[in-house]
Every structure is written in C-alpha cells, then in structure tokens.
Amino acid sequence: MRQDFSPPAPGRMPHHSFRRFFLPLFAIMVLMLVALAPQQASAFSDEQLRQNAEQLNAKSSTKKLDVIEKMAADGDPRVAAILEAMLDGDLYASKADDKVVIGKKQGKVWQHIDVVSGAVTGESGSADLDKIRINNRLRGALRDALATLNLFSPDLAIRRAAVETVMDTRDPAMAPLLQRAIERESNPDLLARMELAKATMALAAGETSQERLDAIDILASQTTPQIRAVLLQFVNAAEAENYDPKVVAAAKDAVASVESRLKMWQTGGDVYRGISLGSVLLLAAVGLAITFGVMGVINMAHGEMIMIGAYTTYAVQQAFLVFWPAGIGWSLAVAVPVAFLVSGGVGVVVERLIIRFLYGRPLETLLATWGLSLFLQQAIRSIFGASNRQVVAPDFMSGAIEFSTGLVLTYNRLWIILFSLIVVGGIAAVLRYTAFGLQMRAVTQNRRMAGSVGIRTGYVDALTFGLGSGIAGIAGVALSQIDNVSPNLGQGYIIDSFMVVVFGGVGNLWGTVLGAFSLGIVNKFLEPVAGAVLAKIFVLVALILFIQKRPKGLFALKGRAVEA
C-alpha cells in the first residue's frame, strides 16, 4: 500500500527544522550581500560563477554552506554541474594554482575540467589534486540545492520532477526560487503545476487570513490525494493553532470538495478495474459459452485449453528468440493464430475421441473432461516442468497511463479489454455471417433435420468444439500477460468461467458478455469494502442464490424448445 505522507503531529519539530528556520535567514543574508552587485536576470556572469566556485573550497563548512545556498538561489544551469560534482566527490582544488576544478579519471590520470567553460584544462596525477571535502550536512544541502536547481533545467522532464519534489517537501525557503521559476517557465502545464506548488507553500507559509484563503481557493479545485493530504494537514494545524474560523471552515470545505471528487474517481477506478477483470472473465468464458452454451457440452478441460494457449505463447516466444530475436515484439501477434490452431486442434481431437460418445449425457461429459483436464495438466508438467514459464511483454503492452488522481491504467489491461471485445465481436460475426456459423446453429437446433439437408453433423460438432477450444487458446495468449504460465493456470479460471456462462444465460453470447462484465464490476466494488477473498465469496454466494431465482441465467430462452 502506498503511504501518503502524514501531517506532523502538532508541537513536534520536524527533524530538519534547523534548515527550516536558519536557511531562510542565510538566504536573506546572502541575498542582501549579492543584492549589492547588479543582478541582471538570474544567471551569473562567468566571473561571478568562478568566484563562487572558488569559495566552495573554503575551510569552514558553514562558509561552504553559504556559498551553496547562494549559488543554488541563482538558478544558473551551470551551477548544477558543479554542485553535482561536489556531491559526488569529484570537485577538487588543484594544488598547483589552487583553482577549483572538476576532476575526471581517465585511465591513470585525472583530467581537470573548468567549472565555467566545461573544457578540459589539463591533467595530472591524483597527488596534484585536493578533494573538496563535504560532510553530511553539506550533502543534505547539496541535494536540496540540486533539486531546486532542476527547476531551471532545460530538460522539461527534469523540471517536472523538480516541481514534484518541491511540492512534496513544501520547504518555504524554496518559495523565492519557485517564484523565479514561474516567471521563466514557458510550458503552460508545468506552469499550472508550479502555481499549485506555490499555493501549497503559501498555505503553509501564509501569514494573513487572506493569503491562506487565496491558497485554499486554488487548492480546492484540485483532485489529487496529495492535495487532500496537504489540506488535511493544514486543517489540523489550523485547528491546533486557532486560526481565523473563516479559514478553518474554508479549508474544511475544500477538503470535502476534494474528497468528493476523489470518491468519484475512485468509483471510476473501480468500474475500470471491474471492466478489466470482466474482460479477463469474458476471455476465459467465451469459449465455454460455445461448447457449453451452443453444444451443451460441459467441458471441464476448458481451463486447460487456456493453459495450452498460454504455453503456446511461451513456445512461440522461444522460437522467436532462436530464429528472429529482433522481432520479439511480433511474437504475441504470431502466437494468437498459433494458439488458436493448437488449442483448437486439441479440441477437435478430444471431440472425436471422447466427447462424441457422450452427447446427451452432460454429467458423464463433465467427468470425462475433468479427467482430461488432469491428464493435460500432467502432460504439460512433464513436458515443460512444474515451475512458471516467463512470457515477455512486448513494448506496446508495458507501461501505463497515470492520472494525478491516483488512477493508473496499465497498457496490458487496456489491451486485454480491447482484445476481449475484438474476440467476442469476431465470434459473433462467425456465428452470424459464415456458412459454418449457419451450419452450427442448424445442428444445434435440429440435428436430424440438419443431417438430412446434407450437413455433416459430425464435422460440425468437431469444428464447433474446436472453435470453442481455439478461442480458449487465444484467451491463453492474453492471460499469459497477466498471470503465471504454469500447469495450474487453467484451474484458476474454470469455476469463474462456468459462473459467467450460467449467470449470463446459456446459449446467449451477449448474456456471457454482460455476465462477465457485471461479475467483474460487482467483484471490484465489493473488494474495497470486504477485501478480495470475502468479495469473491460474496459473489459466489450471490451467484448461487441468483441461480435459484433464475435457474437458466439472465437471458434464458423460454418455452417448449428448451425443455427437450
């Protein structure tokens, strides 16, 4: 679980209180000193930079601290390189001329790099260089300084990260720098973010009620857990220190409004996670919807067809690694048809060898296919071993879209949602528009009649079962991305898949779709309330009760035709 930073208890000094109170003082002193010199824009002149850098070699660390603060407060991009070198222990004073240089080891000698120009000015052995020593206090100061300096980095990403650091620490000493960064920032997004950071600081540092109210006003429009925490912290402090009641009330309102919007996002996140789970259930169940729903065959080995699909993905990737390592990104695309053919082929063989002898005896089919599932599991275990196999995710499936509100949409889940819809759409199209689909429906409705108009019912049976199994194989390709590829992979899905099909109504593809998504969403909505295991138990119990109420599922066919 991610721990939000909690507000410090009232009356307890944060451990870095020293800097909190004294650094601003130093900064002001330094600024007063510097103010004597004409301060054009914010960059040092070469000469100023060199002078400051030389002072880093001062004897006392307090003096060094002063200089670091001074340099950091300026925001010259070149300062960062110097301070970084100092932090890394690469800043030296040359013994020959007492100049401060950055030392870089090249083989056995050290190159001297000029702090201003960055050019190599000479080289020497280590004996000629004196390291500029730093202690922990200086290290801390250097890190802070560097973080702030990043606000002026030419690289947008670094600036963005720096703003986040500022936002997290909310050190009032940084306020002037932030102000300067705001003046120079051109990227509107980042600018808004900086204004926000300024407001959080203003909230902490604000003196008058009006300042605080203004800050609250800005923050109240935000929707992130971070801002909620900032506001909550402020409310605590405000109550403890008896701020203006108007301010307290406004802060509380702000918390409430942020809270309510976060709730909505939370709900949205639950829906998304539910849809994501639903798409997994759908992929696992849709093949079953064909074998069970259309043919009335209880295929307990359905999970193993999924498992075979996942192992096919693994095998395809291994083949890529041997024959075409560069094309590994294509392996999933290739695995989809291959897995369809492998699992589908196994399905056809199984139908011809076992299932066809058991039509009309669903309970016996259930037992035989259960036996088959044990057989297939052990077969895979004997071939590939019992441990998990690693399936590589292609680039387009790794990573995530992150929202500031805390919602994270991972690409692999998004792809699986999309993929499940494509698969269902494809099946619906096959059933509806192809000759095979027509024959399949004909055999389902009236086997004898279909036979007498010339449909080879045996072939249709085998192909239908093959189709259901093949789709399970495709599901295996997708599930290999989010689950462990092990011989037990299928076991985890079989009960859920049956639940989805039964819930949605047997023989109805759209029922399966709706069943999968509603079960997924209900599950994810229960999870935050009850915990993952209890949520699952609730869903199972609810399903058992639901079947009592509607024994034939959500979209049951009614009437005489079904009773036979």
* Positions in the binding site for another protein (CB under 8 A): 298, 300, 354, 357-358, 361-368, 370-379, 381-382, 447-448, 451, 457-458, 491, 495, 498-499, 502, 533-534, 536-537, 540-541, 543-545, 547-549, 551, 557-560
Closest distance between another protein and the C-beta of residue 380, in Å? Answer: 11
Least Cβ distance, residue 351 to another protein (angstroms): 13
Tell how far CA 346 is from the center of its chain: 36
DSSP 418-468: HHHHHHHHHHHHHHHHSHHHHHHHHHHH-HHHHHHTT--HHHHHHHHHHHH
Q: Quick one: 106 or 387, whose CB is closer to another protein?
A: 387
Residue with smaller CB distance to another protein, 180 or 447? 447
> Minimal distance in Å, beta carbon 545 to another protein?
7
CB of 447 to another protein, least distance (A): 7
Question: What's the rounded Cα separation, in Å, for the pair 48 and 2?
Answer: 45
Cβ–Cβ < 8 Å for 543, 499: yes
Q: Shortest approach of another protein to residue 300 CB, angstroms?
A: 8
Number of neighbours of residue 384 by Cβ within 10 angstroms:
16
User: With the CA atoms of 277, 280, 281 and 287 taken in that order, what torsion angle do they form, in degrees rounded to the nearest 10?
Assistant: 170
**Least distance to another protein, CB of residue 421, Å:** 26
Which of 240, 562 has the CB closer to another protein? 562
Q: Is 563 helix (H, G, I), strand (E, B) or coil?
A: helix
CA distance linking residue 413 with residue 401, whole number of Å? 11
What is the identity of the amino acid at 486?
A: S
Cβ of residue 275: shortest distance to another protein, in angstroms? Answer: 23
Radius of gyration of the chain (CA): 34
Give the nearer residue to another protein in terms of CB position, either 174 or 298: 298
- Choose between 152 and 498: whose C-beta lies nearer to another protein: 498
What's the CA gap between 6 and 230, in Å, rounded? 9
Nearer to another protein, 83 or 284 (CB): 284
Ranges of beta strands (E only) in 464-521 are none
Q: How many CA atoms lie within 13 A of 114 on its CB side?
A: 12
- Do the bridges between strand 408-410 and strand 400-402 make them parallel or antiparallel, or are there none, so unpaired? antiparallel
Residue placing its CB nearer to another protein in the complex, 317 or 365 = 365
Least distance CB 252 / another protein (angstroms)? 36
Tell me which amino acid residue 190 is: L
- DSSP state letters, 108-128: TEEEEEETTT--EEEEE-GGG
- Please tell me the distance from the alpha carbon of residue 275 to that of residue 189, in angstroms, as a whole number: 31
Which DSSP helix (H) or strand (E) runs through 402? strand 400-402
The residue (of 11 and 360) whose beta carbon lies closer to another protein is: 360
* Residue closer to another protein, measured from CB, 65 or 368: 368
State in angstroms the smallest separation of the CB of 86 from another protein: 51
